[in-house]
Structure 1
Amino acid sequence: MVSLDRQECAATVLGGPTAVIDLGGLRIVSDPTFDDAGPSGYLTKLSDPLVDAAELGAVDVVLVSHDQHPDNLDTRGRAFTLEAPLVLTTDSSAPRLGAHAVGLKPWSSHTIARPDGNGELTVLAVPAVHGPEDAEREADGFVNCEVVGFVLSGEGLPTVYVSGDNASIRTVAEISRRVPRIDAAVLHAGAARVLVKHGGRPLSLDSRRAAAAAAVLDAPVVLPAHYDGWAHFSEGRADLELAFEEAGLTSVLRSVDHGTWVNLR
């Protein structure tokens, strides 16, 4: 049985990209996906949701790295997001995600009062590249679409990086330079591949790049997400474990079953 009781400072992945982060008295959900298995546009979901959205209880913030792809925001996930009291996302996604959605450009931030009475949680939007660094850019300058990651921080809290769908180690290096301490990282991995896009090259971190990102960030806690539950994810948990072992980083990888809470301190 999955326990969704509020935690003091922990995160769990529910499958696909969807993570729950309890931090500073706030419950934060990233890239919510709650549809049943089956076709979803040109993608195919392989797994039913681990929990129903209603089981999450009161949610304070939803983070949406981008809303254009159903493996990051499916039908039930969108309905869940539209009911959230606060949604942080990209400038282009915000108009589609309701009156409580705030669009953030990379390196802009939004602050939220903490229910624990210890000031504010700052959510910093950081860049992400949703495909190969050298891929042809769309008219708006993005690979596939506009995507952001997020860095969560506050007094007395660990600094937590949520990557969103990013395939670029150069981008991770830029984040590491500008945010010199990352205590925990939720990395979207899985080497997502769609054959008609960029020659089938990965649209998210493959396992070796996920290990490289962990090394660049020097994060003592790495929780992988976005590596199972969809047919176009080409690398799974075993690939991640091997890549981190070969990189000498097994000690930082929290390779746990979905629904298992990981302490972020």
Structure 2
Amino acid sequence: MTDVTVRVIGGPTAVVEYAGARFLLDPTFDEPQTYHYGPVTAVKLTGPAVRPDELGPIDAVLVSHEHHMDNFDFSGREFALGAKRVITTEDGAPKLGDHATGLRPFDRTEVGTVRITAVPALHGDPELGLRNGPVIGFVLEADGAPTVYIGGDNASLEVVSVIAERFPGIEIAVLNVGAAKLPARGDVFLTLTADLAARAAALLGARAVVPLHQDGWAHYTQHAEDVTRVFGAAGLGKVLVDARPGAVAVL
């Protein structure tokens, strides 16, 4: 079975090397700044640990959603527009060019030998998730490789249950944590809390969990130390891969 590597760049952004292909997740390469869109203000606190020109070849950019700056900032959009291929939501693809493939939940496409299935994600509670617009995660499968679940900005354990039932062989989960909150969106978590991430890991039966989306933005209310503590208390310390920005995890 081939190794999977995850190079953590910061925020929701990482490079996943899988079955001979290299995928960039939710590119955010801007330097620290404040963004205003609609009623929302989001503050980026740190720049990327890896610059776009240091990434090497990328076979496809996987964009969970293109309408929120903390998952797809100005530099990330510029990178995606010049990429070989982009895979995102059905709503987002027309905004990103002819090389973008739009998927609805449980639609599939391929990159090389990798089968990519879009899976549901709920960006908040059921009411807010609908207002937050379409968001997807991804499941990667390939012969001789472990199945990988990339959660995107999903905050729902119920959604994870559906994915675990549909894909019972998931071995590696890349989860957006951070317990994100924005005043304009009310007292609702927009991504997984550390506790929900630990419960998601148990539901999936994953042997390795790589947390993203836990650093670099002011609206993340939990950070790596919180995730490490909660996973340890849940008896899942050996499952958690504590890879901080700039690190490469080999799984």
The TM-score normalised by the length of structure 2 is 0.95
Distance 1:32 1:136, change over 3 A: closer
> Partner of 1:238: helix, strand, or coil?
helix
Show the counterpart of 1:151.
Answer: 139
Q: Deviations over 1:113-148 (max 9, x none)?
A: 2xxxxxx10000000000013x256xxxx2411000
CA distance in 2, matches of 1:159, 1:48: 30
Gaps of 5+ in 1: 1-6, 114-119
- Which of 119, 127, 148 is the matching residue for 1:126? 119
Matched ranges for 1:23-42 at <5 A: 23-41=18-36, 42=41
Alignment match, 1:92: 91
- Give 3-state SS (helix, strand or coil) of 2:183's partner: coil
Structure 2 counterpart SS, 1:243: helix
Judge conservation of contact 2:21–2:111 (CA < 8 Å) in 1. no
Name 2:159's counterpart in structure 1.
171
Aligned pairs for 1:15-164 within 5 A: 15-41=10-36, 42-113=41-112, 120-133=113-126, 135-136=127-128, 142-164=130-152
Letter in 2 for 1:155: D
Equivalences, count: 246
Shift of 1:173: 0.2
Aligned residues of 2:12 and 2:28 also touching (Cα < 8 A):
yes
* Offset from partner CA, 1:31-70 (integer Å, 9 cap, x none): 0000001112221100011121011121111000001101
Q: What secondary structure, in the 3-state scheme, does the structure 2 residue paired with 1:12 have?
A: strand
Aligned counterparts of 1:101 and 1:220: Cα–Cα separation in 2: 32
What do the CA deviations read for 1:158-217 (whole angstroms, capped 9, x no partner)?
A: 1111100000000000000000111101000001101121x2210000110011111111
Q: Distance in 2 between matches of 1:136 and 1:191?
A: 15
1:131·1:143 contact (CA, 8 Å) conserved in 2? no
Residues in 2 aligned to 1:143 and 1:65: alpha-carbon distance in whole angstroms: 16
In structure 2, distance between residues paired with 1:217 and 1:55: 33
Structure 2 unmatched runs, 5+: none
The structure carrying a bigger strand percent of its residues is 2
Q: Quote the Cα distance in structure 1 between the aligned partners of 2:172 and 2:181.
A: 26
Let me know the Cα RMSD of the aligned residues: 1.3
Letter in 1 for 2:35: S
Q: Which stretches of structure 1, 4 residues or longer, exceed 4 Å deviation after superposition?
A: none
In 1, Cα distance between equivalents of 2:187 and 2:247: 32
Deviation at 1:242, TM superposition (A): 1.1
Judge conservation of contact 1:189–1:207 (CA < 8 Å) in 2. Answer: yes
CA contact (8 A) 2:65 2:92 kept: yes
2:58 is paired with a residue whose SS is: coil
Residue 26 of structure 1 and its aligned partner are, at CA, apart by 1.0
Could you tell me how far apart the structure 2 residues matched to 1:34 and 1:82 are? 14
Task: Name the SS of the counterpart of 2:238 in structure 1.
Answer: helix
Identity over aligned residues, as a percent? 44
* SS at structure 2 position matched to 1:20: strand
